[in-house]
Amino acid sequence: MPELPEVEIVRRALEEQVVDKTIESVDIYYPNIIRTPSDVEEFKWLIAGQTIRSIGRKGKYLLLYMDQVTLVSHLRMEGKYIFTEQNQTSFDKHIHLVFRFTDKSLLQYRDVRKFGTMDLLPQGKEQSFMPLKKLGQEPIDPDFDQQRFKNRVQSKTVPIKQILLNQEIVSGLGNIYVDETLALSKIHPLRTGNSLTDQELDQIITAMKQMLEKAIEDGGSTIRSYESFYGKGSMQDHLAVYGRTGQSCLFCGASIEKIKVGGRGTHYCPVC
């Protein structure tokens, strides 16, 4: 499941593959992927003729900047982009959208769970697009405001696990990297925000950063069906707790436990 590092890998791939290409048309096989505009025909009409100028990323959102519009794409669980040079007319059943470029190359969007979303907004309007506007800073942002982060966490009464998953507090972390961050910081996922000391939050900040930077370097994690453009990342081989229920902790040897926190599967070492 793509989190910040995986989305960053996709961003880099798209940057190499589709920048400067002009969209001739879009085939849509599953319209529910498109949220904005609500009329799919309008989506097709607005995007036709647009040239992709650059690829950005904010948290787990991909931004495809074009001449008059910006496409905001969220891959959610299993969304992925597949670029092919040659023309094609039939696709596997999980391809829900195909961008056809004027040079006959294609960009296919594949999403088994159909959870991904796309919003096409007028150029510049993506700034005020709600989910993006409310997004918290990324831990790897050089301007990351540590004090503000600490204050917001300490004002909350819910478990730290849920707080780190809240994209409005800090963006880019998903279930895997939150569990890993807490394991690395040696902080129990059920500890509430207001119970954490400044020092413990410093550990969390350091761990988040380290985690994400290493994951990007490793080409992302390949969990379940997720694969990046350039094949598989290797980060999954370095996970300390995620998906290791019952296996022994890398730090102390105790058996990794799995519980539910805020409705999410949560892995941790009961000793560390």
Partner DNA sequence: CACGAGTCCTGCAGGC
Partner DNA sequence: TGCCTGCAGGACTCGT
Candidates 57, 60, 80, 100; catalytic one: 60
Q: Is 162 in the site for DNA (CB under 7 A)?
A: yes
Closest distance of CB 165 from DNA, Å: 6
Candidates 11, 21, 209, 264; catalytic one: 264
Burial of residue 92 (CB within 10 Å: 0-12, 13-18, 19+) is exposed
Residue 264: other Cβ atoms inside 10 A:
15
DSSP 8-state class, residue 159:
B
Q: Which of residues 95-134 bind DNA (CB under 7 A)?
A: 112-115, 130-131
Candidates 2, 5, 139, 189; catalytic one: 2
Closest distance of CB 32 from DNA, Å: 5
What's at 83, amino acid-wise?
A: F
Active-site annotation holds for 186: no
- Between 9 and 176, name the residue whose CB sits nearer to DNA: 176
Out of 136, 174, 220, 233, which residue is the one contacting DNA (CB under 7 A)?
A: 174
What's at 45, amino acid-wise?
A: W
- Between 104 and 113, name the residue whose CB sits nearer to DNA: 113
Parallel, antiparallel or unpaired: strands 23-28 and 95-101: antiparallel
Q: Is 191 in the site for DNA (CB under 7 A)?
A: no
Parallel, antiparallel or unpaired: strands 117-122 and 34-36: parallel
Residue 110: beta bridge partners?
80, 95
Q: Is 221 in the site for DNA (CB under 7 A)?
A: no
Q: Which of residues 4-33 bind DNA (CB under 7 A)?
A: 32
Q: Is 76 in the site for DNA (CB under 7 A)?
A: yes
Q: Is 79 in the site for DNA (CB under 7 A)?
A: no
Out of 9, 34, 121, 165, which residue is the one contacting DNA (CB under 7 A)?
A: 165
Provide φ and ψ at 150, rounded to 5°.
Answer: -60, -45
Q: Is 181 in the site for DNA (CB under 7 A)?
A: no
Contact 139, 205 (CB under 8 A): yes
CA–CA separation, 18 vs 148, rounded Å?
37
Residue 198: beta bridge partners?
none
CA–CA separation, 137 vs 33, rounded Å?
26
Binding site for DNA (CB under 7 A): 1, 3, 32, 59-60, 74, 76-77, 93-94, 112-115, 130-131, 155-158, 162, 165, 167, 174-176, 260, 262-265
Catalytic amino acids? 2-3, 60, 264
